Amino acid sequence: MDVKIGPHWYRNSNGTIEIEGLPQIELELRKTGGVPIRMNFALFDSGGKLHAKIEANSLVINEQGAYHLERSEKGLKLTTTSNQKPVLAINVGADNHVEIPEGEFYTLKGHILKITPREWSVEKITGKEGETDMKGLPVAVGS
Q: What is the pLDDT of residues 40-69, one digit of tens each?
A: 999 999 888 999 999 999 999 999 999 999
- Of all residues in the chain, the percent with pLDDT exceeding 90 is 86
Long-range (24+ apart) CB contacts under 8 A made by 117-122 are 117/6, 117/7, 118/6, 118/7, 119/6, 119/7, 120/5, 120/6, 120/8, 122/19, 122/20
Mean of per-residue pLDDT scores for the chain: 94
pLDDT tens digits, 97-115: 999 999 999 999 999 999 9
- Residue 62, helix vs strand vs coil: strand
The pLDDT of residue 111: 95
The pLDDT of residue 93: 87
Domain ranges of the chain: 3-141
141 contacts 5 by C-beta, under 8 angstroms: yes
Please measure the distance between the N-terminal and C-terminal CA atoms of the chain and give it in whole angstroms. Answer: 20
Compare 89 and 33 and report the one with higher pLDDT: 89
The values of phi and psi at residue 75, to 5°, are: 160, -145
The values of phi and psi at residue 136, to 5°, are: 80, 0
